[in-house]
């Protein structure tokens, strides 16, 4: 299998997206709103997370939702706002693609294309993303075993893309106290079995903003190459996932705390 760990130089194990390097000594901190809601909102959040120390900017233009009546994103207009936010801040952008029909438009704007948990089993989209010429961030499916997850990554790799980053974002278990169960054992296990960098999304993994900082710190402590968190200037007014979104102030403190943990494990922020 292509994903299997093999002897590679340090540079060959890293995935570079603009100034962010996944798998290097410096952690990659991805922050931004769950979804792009407006131009002003996106610019405001982007500037705030950049000042706090973010490495990359996240934001959904196309949003997969459980309910067909929930906000589905601004689509093409959302991509325009992401592009403007990148121009204003210099932060590379990662955003999700939901279907192959959207891929060219997303890849034209995004510095990194994200495949979300709902599409981890979508082999056609995985192959298409692997051939789009952009780095791919692949999230673990909410009910996927690690073997199934790695085989999903294999579709992207087999299409010719070697710039793949894995993201643990929580799995569905019997526990109902949190939105999902954040499986941090996946981090060392994936790093044991593959050369691909691994990051963690504690926002989706817990579903509660108060739990995001401690789980982000734990993720770095167990070897994650970065974290991806949802940040909103007014979480109580967010159109999507406000309950798991932190504020810029929370992110600023988190970055400082991550620096302490990073130093203890030989990393930096």
Residue 51 lies in a domain: yes
pLDDT digits (tens, 9 = 90+) for 120-141: 999 999 999 999 999 999 999 9
CA distance 182 to 101: 31
Please identify which residue in the block is written with the tokens 């979300």.
116
* Mean pLDDT across 212-226: 98
First to last CA, the chain: 32
Compute the mean pLDDT over every residue in the chain, rounded to the nearest whole number: 94
CATH number for the domain including 173? 3.20.20.70
pLDDT digits (tens, 9 = 90+) for 150-191: 999 999 999 999 999 999 999 999 999 999 999 999 999 999
Q: Which range marks the domain in which residue 139 is found?
A: 32-260
Residue 139 lies in a domain: yes
Residue 162 lies in a domain: yes
Q: Which of 201, 203, 150 is nearest to 178 (CA)?
A: 203
User: Could you tell me the pTM of the whole model?
Assistant: 0.94
- The number of distinct structural domains making up the chain is 1
CA distance 127 to 248: 36
Q: How confident is the model at residue 242 (pLDDT cuts 50, 70, 90)?
A: confident
Token pair for 114: 């994200």
Is residue 221 a contact partner of residue 265, using CB atoms and an 8 Å limit?
yes
* DSSP 8-class letter at 179: S
What burial class does residue 129 get, using C-beta atoms within 10 Å of its C-beta: 0-12 exposed, 13-18 middle, 19+ buried?
buried
pLDDT digits (tens, 9 = 90+) for 92-126: 999 999 999 999 999 999 999 999 999 999 999 99
Inform me whether the pLDDT recorded for 7 exceeds 60.
Answer: no
Residue 231 lies in a domain: yes
3-state class of 183 per DSSP? coil
Residue 255 lies in a domain: yes
Residue 254 lies in a domain: yes
Please identify which residue in the block is written with the tokens 């590379």.
92
Residue 27 lies in a domain: no
Inform me whether the pLDDT recorded for 264 exceeds 60.
Answer: yes
Q: How confident is the model at residue 9 (pLDDT cuts 50, 70, 90)?
A: low
Residue 25 lies in a domain: no
What are 49's strand-pairing partners?
none
Q: Percent of the chain at pLDDT above 90?
A: 87
């Amino acid at each position: 299998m292509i994903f299997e760990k093999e002897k590679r130089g340090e540079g060959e194990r890293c995935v570079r997206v603009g100034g962010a390097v996944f798998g290097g000594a410096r952690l990659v901190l991805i922050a931004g709103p769950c979804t792009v809601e407006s131009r002003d909102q996106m610019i405001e959040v982007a500037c705030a997370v950049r000042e706090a120390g973010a490495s990359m900017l996240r934001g959904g233009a196309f949003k997969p939702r459980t309910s067909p009546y929930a906000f589905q994103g601004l689509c093409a207009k959302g991509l325009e706002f992401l592009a403007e936010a990148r121009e204003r801040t210099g932060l590379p952008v990662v955003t999700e693609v939901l279907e192959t029909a959207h891929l060219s438009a997303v890849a034209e704007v995004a510095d990194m294309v994200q495949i979300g948990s709902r599409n981890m089993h979508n082999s056609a989209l995985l192959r298409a993303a692997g051939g789009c010429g952009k780095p791919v961030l692949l999230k673990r499916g909410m009910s996927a075993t690690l073997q199934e997850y790695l085989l999903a990554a294999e579709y992207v790799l087999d299409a010719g893309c070697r710039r793949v980053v894995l993201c643990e974002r929580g799995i569905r278990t019997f526990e109902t106290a949190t939105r999902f169960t954040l499986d941090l054992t996946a981090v060392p296990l994936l790093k044991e079995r593959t050369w691909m960098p691994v990051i963690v999304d504690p926002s989706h993994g817990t579903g509660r903003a108060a739990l995001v900082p401690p789980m982000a710190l734990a993720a770095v402590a167990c070897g994650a190459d970065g974290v991806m968190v949802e940040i909103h200037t007014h979480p109580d007014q967010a159109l999507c996932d406000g309950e798991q979104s932190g504020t810029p102030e929370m992110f600023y403190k988190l970055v400082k705390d991550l620096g302490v943990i990073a130093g203890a494990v030989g990393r930096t922020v």
